[in-house]
A and B are shown apart, each in its own frame.
Chain A
């Protein structure tokens, strides 16, 4: 079938095959206007969407570009260079805070996996009064403004007479990494139900066998996905960390300190590294958890 639109836009000729198998032309003048309007709206919406995508990504691209600019000014782009990346290695404060961040994030993620996974089982598999309220409370660290958690944790540690150190930062991070992992695992558990485990038990598997051969393989990807997301969030965290930092700093706090003296090409270089690292982590996270909207709705 072929359609030719006439110049007056109100009629069109439909070239089609009739019952006898002959090629015929039919002139119609019905819904073409409607179709045209739909097309116009589509393009306006897509144009608008492209603008928003630009708004979201141009700033990040700017940072990446400036990290390769030979000129020290943040205005002109002259030559492509890698020297700022080489300088990063000589910045000992930066390197050690980078290592600190990895230490904190790894510890916080391991703790979150243990706490979050067991917690997810508890919430999904157990009925107890006030379950919804329990869940709401467990969400507080990711739903409340970070400044509140920061203040509360600071006062908590001062009351316990714990000096600000790696420990305080790590515990601060466990406050929000735990619900991140927990809610990822919870949504997986709730979706799967317990039929598979019941089947395994009916087939004669003991509880330990069921756990390792059925349950854990089923929720493994949710745990990995949640852990990756928690790592990305922890590695980047500053709002809570800033309250809990003494002389032992993490990477974002160190960069924040560098920013006091203005933006330098080094800042762009380390930003680019963080950005690419985060994107890689998020990419794998999406691969593991799937990109279902409900599963990804975890906020910082």
Chain B
């Protein structure tokens, strides 16, 4: 048996497919150059930068852990990270509460125009990030739509400042951004559930509610995990939305990272903060890969 196997291997080595392989390795050169030069080297340089030291307006070529120590010693930073964690968590939960019934409805109840309604959800996904921020500032602002409506209805006498420049406005806008990201993996995993499994559960006497709890929901869990993780990362890493809608109390981790490259001009510390974010995102993505749906992240 062994001999047969090895001889087929030998044969396979000379088969046309493997000659093509040699050719397609040449095809791999551009993408490998791109990957190394535009993705890996910059991230590596950021990692190296995080061990350097700022002194005045110079960056000293030293090797030090001071930037990371500073993060753990100075409670402003890790407390801000924890706060951002909490906000990102809330965003993901709210996005799932909004997105799950919607994904369920479109994937399992809707018969006509399913693709159209699907596209309606994901169209805002890629477009007009800034326009969506503008929209929410218009709605939540001191002279925004909600305040104007409340004033005109006579419910309030002065415009309320509770809608804009706080954590709530940041969470609302981040949720708005996150819903499509939660929706897609949920939709994919819900749509994949074969109808005969559900019919079987119903035939065996399970009520609709029990079928959902015991059959549909567990099968949609991988999609749920992927959606949660994606929206968590998006919310955690954002700095434009907190800067535009957050005011002083709605500031998030990303803003502090950004500040190190802007006004504070402390690139080594900013890189360390950035790398901490990278590390967290990597852990979240690994969790998503193990427990989430494979289609959610990988396009294969």
Chain A contacts to B: CB under 8 angstroms: 37-38, 41-42, 45-46, 48-49, 52-53, 55-57, 59-60, 62-63, 66, 73-76, 114-116, 118-119, 121-123, 125-128, 134-135, 137-141, 143-149, 151-156, 159, 171, 174-175, 178, 182-184, 186-187, 190, 229, 232-233, 236-239, 242-243, 252, 255-256, 259, 263, 267-268, 271, 274-275, 278-279, 281-282, 286, 291, 293-300
- The answer to whether A187 and B132 touch across the interface, beta carbons within 8 angstroms, is no
**Residues B235-274 near A (CB distance < 8 A):** 236-240, 244, 254, 257-258, 261, 267, 270-271, 274
Q: Does B225 contact A (CB under 8 A)?
A: no
- Once the chains bind, are A48 and B28 in contact (CB under 8 Å)? no
Contact A299 B181 (CB under 8 A): yes
B129 interfacial by beta-carbon distance below 8 Å: yes
The answer to whether A278 touches B127, judged by C-beta atoms less than 8 angstroms apart, is yes
| CB neighbors of A among B146-200 (8 A) | 148, 176, 179, 181, 184-185, 187-188, 191
**B41 neighbours in A (Cβ, 8 Å):** 156
Partner of B295, one of A45, A115, A138, A297: A297
User: Is B74 in the interface zone, CB < 8 Å from A?
Assistant: no
B287 at the interface (CB under 8 A from A): no
Please give me the 9 A-B residue pairs with the lowest Cβ-Cβ distance, nearest first: A145-B237, A119-B31, A278-B127, A59-B135, A152-B42, A122-B28, A156-B42, A183-B299, A271-B131
Contact A42 B21 (CB under 8 A): no
- Asked if B130 and A155 make an inter-chain contact with CB atoms under 8 angstroms apart, the answer reads no
- Asked if B31 contacts A126 (CB within 8 A), the reply is no
Q: How large is the interface on B (under 10, 10 to 19, 20 to 34, 35 or more residues)?
A: 35 or more
Residues in chain B near residue A46, CB distance under 8 A? 105, 109
Q: Which residues 91-111 of B have a CB within 8 angstroms of A?
A: 98-99, 101-102, 104-106, 109
Q: Are B105 and A45 in contact (CB under 8 A)?
A: yes
The answer to whether A119 and B28 touch across the interface, beta carbons within 8 angstroms, is: yes
Can you add 20 more A-B contacts, CB < 8 Å, to A53-B121, A271-B134? A37-B208, A45-B109, A56-B120, A60-B128, A75-B145, A114-B30, A121-B24, A125-B24, A139-B298, A143-B297, A145-B233, A148-B46, A153-B38, A153-B42, A186-B299, A243-B261, A256-B240, A263-B137, A299-B230, A300-B125
Query: Across the interface, which residues of B come within 8 angstroms of A190, CB to CB?
Result: 300
Tell me whether chain B's interface is mostly helix, strand or loop, or mixed.
helix
CA distance A222 to B39 in the complex (A): 24
Q: How far is the CB of B143 from chain A (nearest CB, A)?
A: 5
Contact A62 B139 (CB under 8 A): yes
Give the nearest-CB partner of B260 in chain A.
A151
Contact indicator B127/A275 (Cβ below 8 Å): yes
Contacts A155-B271, A256-B130; A49 near B106 (Cβ below 8 A): yes
Taken together as a complex, chains A and B put the C-alpha atoms of A278 and B129 apart, in Å, by 11
The contact of A293 among B181, B258, B295, by CB within 8 Å, is B295
Q: Is B281 an interface residue (CB 8 A)?
A: yes
State the CA gap A256–B137 with chains docked (Å). 13
Given A59-B139, A115-B30, A143 contacting B285 (CB threshold 8 A): yes
Known interface pairs A144-B278, A236-B129, A297-B185. Does A139 touch B297 (Cβ–Cβ under 8 Å)? yes
Return chain A residues, CB-CB under 8 Å to B258: 147
Cα separation A297 to B223 with both chains bound (whole Å) = 12
Most buried by B among A126, A239, A278, A297: A297
Using a CB–CB cutoff of 8 Å, the interface residues on chain B facing chain A are: 20-21, 24-25, 27-28, 30-31, 34-35, 38-43, 45-46, 49, 98-99, 101-102, 104-106, 109, 115, 118-132, 134-139, 141, 143-145, 148, 176, 179, 181, 184-185, 187-188, 191, 208, 230, 233-234, 236-240, 244, 254, 257-258, 261, 267, 270-271, 274, 277-278, 281, 285, 295-300
In the complex, A263→B136 CA distance in Å?
A: 11
Query: Could you say which of B126, B138, B139 contacts A300, with CB atoms under 8 Å apart?
Result: B126
Tell me the smallest distance from the CB of B193 to a CB of chain A, in Å: 14
How many angstroms between the C-alpha atoms of A30 and B161 in the bound complex? 57
Pick from B39, B106, B125, B254 the residue with the most CB of A within 10 Å: B39
Q: Is the CB of B106 within 8 A of A122?
A: no
Contact B131 A274 (CB under 8 A): yes
How many angstroms from the CA of A66 to the CA of B144 in the assembled complex? Answer: 12
**Complex: how many Å from CA A60 to CA B24?**
46
Complex partner residue of A146 from B98, B101, B181, B237, CB under 8 angstroms: B237
Query: B134–A138 contact, CB under 8 A?
Result: no
* Chain A residues closer than 8 Å to B120, beta-carbon distance: 53, 56-57
Name the residue among A147, A232, A239 with the largest chain B CB count within 10 angstroms. A147
Interface pair B123/A282, CB less than 8 Å apart: yes
Q: Is the CB of A174 within 8 A of B274?
A: no
Least Cβ distance of B52 to chain A in Å? 10
Contacts known (A75-B143, A147-B254, A256-B130); A56 close to B299, Cβ less than 8 A: no
Q: Write the chain A residue with the least CB distance to B143.
A: A75
Can you sample 16 A-B contacts with CB below 8 Å?
A52-B179, A55-B179, A56-B121, A59-B135, A122-B25, A122-B28, A138-B39, A140-B39, A145-B281, A147-B257, A155-B49, A156-B42, A236-B128, A271-B131, A278-B126, A297-B188
Contacts of B277 in A (CB 8 A): 145, 147-148
Q: Are A48 and B101 in contact (CB under 8 A)?
A: yes
Q: Is the CB of A74 within 8 A of B144?
A: yes
Complex contacts, A140 vs chain B, CB 8 Å: 39, 43
